[in-house]
Structure 1
Amino acid sequence: MSDRLPGFSTLAVHAGAQPDPTTGARATPIYQTTSFVFNDADHAASLFGLQAFGNIYTRIGNPTNAVLEERVAALEGGTAALAVASGHAAQVVVLQQLLQPGDEFIAARKLYGGSINQFTHAFKSFGWNVVWADPDDIASFERAVTPRTKAIFIESIANPAGSITDIEAISTVARKAGVPLIVDNTLASPYLIRPIDHGADIVVHSLTKFLGGHGNSLGGIIVDAGTFDWSTGGKYPMLSEPRPEYHGIRLQETFGNFAFAIACRVLGLRDLGPALSPFNAFMILTGIETLPLRMQKHCDNAKAVAEYLAGHPAVASVSYAGLPSDKYNQLARKYAPKGAGAVFTFSLKGGYDAGVSLVSKLQLFSHLANVGDTRSLVIHPASTTHSQLDDAAKINSGAGPDVVRISVGIEDKEDLIADLEQALGT
C-alpha cells in the first residue's frame, strides 16, 4: 500500500497479521504451544532480561495473541496492547501496576455490576480502595481526589443503562490530579468511540463482548495510549523505579511510550498468570474482522427497538442515548455519532415482578448474563448481575428493580419487535 493510513474496516481485517512465513497460511494460525525453542543460550538470556523481543512461554506471550494485541491497539489508536483471560483479569492487571496497599482509585458509579463487586470487595484484599463518583456530576470526581489517588476508572458507555460518559471532562480532572484515566470501552468498541482520542491513557475491554462478537470465547485486553509520564512525582514505582527482577531496568526509561503495556506483561501477566488461550485469541480475531459491519447493524436495530419500546403502554421509560429525548443524546452525538451502542435498559410499569415475567416470556431474546452477541439477549439485572448490591446501589448503577437490560443483536429488527410485543402484551 501507499503511505495512506488504512481505514477502520481495513485495520479490522489486516492489522497485525501477515501470511504465515512457513506455510503461507492466510488466516492467523493457532500457535497451540506452551513454550518456544531458543536459538542459543545468549538468545534465551536476552529474552529473559528484556533485552530482546520474542516468545518464551505462552503465559507471557504467544504469536496468535500478538496479532490480536496489535490489531486492537491499531483500532484504538494505542501504542501497544496486552491480551488476557477476561475483562476482569484486565482490570486486575492494570491496577496492579498502579496501586500499592492503601492507595485509592476513583470509579464512576455507573459500571457493570461485576466491576462494582470486584472494586468494592475483591480489591480490598489487595489493600486497594475505591472511591465512587457520579459521572453525571464531574465535580464529584474532583472532590474525590486525595493524595492517595492513583487512577480514575470509567466506562465509555455504561453497563447496564447505556448512558454516555463525558470522557473529555473527566480526563481534564485526571490531568489536573496527575493520574491516568482508564476507560472500559467494552460496550462501545473502537468502532463507535476511541477513548484515547478524548484523553484516555489506558483502555480496557472484555473481548468476550462486541469485539469477539459471537458469544463463544472469553478474553480481555489492555491498550496503552502511550500518553502518560509514569516518572512524574514517583507515584508509580512499578514503572519508574529499578526492577530487581530485571537487573535494575526502569520500564518507563527503557520502553518509553509503551512502558505500561510492557509492565502489564512482564510484571502482571507473568506473575498473576491470567493468560488468554491462543484458541480464544483466534476466535476473537475472527470476530473482529466483521466488527464494523456488526456494530452498525447492532446500533440500527437498537434504535428501532428503543423507539418501539418508548411507545409501548407497559413501558415506563427507556434509557437509550440514541433517542433524541434521552438526557445523554447530546453526549452520544459528540462521542458516538455512528450509533449509541446496542445495550440499554427500560423500566416496566409493573416493577420487579414484571421484569422477571418479561424475561421468561421472550422467545427470540436469550435470557443470559452476557452482552455483545450476534444474538439478542435479555436479563433482569436486579435479580441477577446486580443482585449482590443493595437497593440504593442498584438504582445508582442504573439497575433498579423495574429495569430490564437488553443487548440487541443483528437479527431482523421486525422479528425482535414482534418477540417483545408478544412478551409485553397490551
Structure 2
Amino acid sequence: MRDQEPAPGSAERRLSTRETAELLGVKPETVYAYVSRGQLSSRRAPGGRGSTFDAREVERLAGRNRREGGGGSAVPGGELAVRTRITLIEKDRYYFRGVDATALAARHTYEEVAEWLWTGRLRPGVTFTAPDASVAVARRAVRALPEHAGPTDRLRVAAIAAAAADPLRFDLSEDAVLGTARILIPTLVAALPPVLGDHRDQGPLAHRLWARLSGRPADDVSLRALDTALALLVDHDLAASTLAVRVAASARAHAYAAVSAGLGVIEGPLHGAAGGLAHRLLLEVLDRGSAGPVIAEELRDGRRIPGLGHRLYPGEDPRARALFEILEGIPGAAPALAAARDIEATAARRTPLHANVDLALAVLTASSGMSYTASETIFAVARTAGWIAHALEEYGERPLRMRPSGHYVGPRPPQPLPE
C-alpha cells in the first residue's frame, strides 16, 4: 500500500523513502545518495517527517538502472549489489533457495545439494561421473605440472584441459551448462593424484575425494564429515571468487572459463587458502600443548588469528557449528577439537570472536592425516557447484552488465607529454 496517494484530480503520485528504496532495490540511505547526485528530487512529507519522491521519476530511474545494470546497482562504499535467488545470509544463518543450508547439508549429499542449488529440485541418490576421455585429458595436463604445484594449480589446469577437450563448451543453454557441471566437478576430483594407491573413481564424490586428500582409510563418520563440509561450502553469496565468476559469465565466457576465473581468485590467503593457515596454527597448538604462547607469537608478529570471526556473522558461523557437531562423533578428532576450542577461548580474552568454517575445516584435515592444503582443495571443489549456479543466473542477465565505471582520481588533462 502506498503511503502517499495523489490528491483527487492530481497526476502526481508520491512515494515514501521506504517505498522508493524497495522499488529501486537499494537501501534507504542509497536513496539519499541519488538525491545528492541529482538523480532524484525529494520533497518534505506533510508534517516534516521524512521525504517523499515523485513516483514517475523513481520508476524512470529504476528502469534506467535495470537497462544499465541488469539488476545490479552501485551502493555507497563501492559495494556492488546483485540480485540473486541462490543464497541468503541473515541473522547468523544462511539459506539455499530459501531452505536452511545447514539442514540441507545434514540430510543430503553434496551432489544433491548442488542439484538443489542449480535447479531448485532434489535428485535423491544422484552422483556425478565423468567420461573417461575428459578424465584422461585432465590427468595428462595435471601430471605435466611441477611437483611443487599446489592444489588450485592442479584444479585450474584440469578445468582448462577439460574445456579444450569439449567442442560443445560454448553452448550456454541451461541444459548444456548443467551437463558441463555434472562432468566438470568429478573430472576435477579424478584429475588430482591419489594419496592411496588403491583409490576409487565410483560412488559419492566425497569418497573419491578422500583418496586424493588422505592416506588413511576412511570410516563412515569421517566420510560423512567430508561430504557435509562440501555441502556446507557449496555457496556463500557473492564472495570474491563468485563475483569473478559472474563477471566472466557476464562477458559470456563458457562454464569452464567461468570456473577458472573463480579458481584464480580462490587461491588468496584471505579466501580459499585461509583454511590452510588455520590448519598450521592448529598443528602448532597441538605440538606445544597450549594455544596461549602460539597466539601470543601470532599477535606479536602482527598477524591476525586464522579461523576466527567472519564479517557476515556477528555471532557463530553456522557452517563451523554444523561441522563441529559431526567431528565430535569422531574419536580421532578429539585432540584437534580441543585445540580449536583452546584457540577460540584464548583469543576471546581480547576479542569475542567465534570459530569460523576455516577452523572447523582445519580440525577435519588435521585429524584425518591430510596436508594443510587439503582445505583449499575441499573449498575449491565444493564451491565449483556454487560458481556454476551463479554463472547460470548471470547468463540470464543482460551481457556485459558487470562493467562498473572507474572513478578517475589522477591528474586532469591536458598534461604535457613525458620527456
TM-score range, shorter chain: under 0.3
Higher share in helix: 2
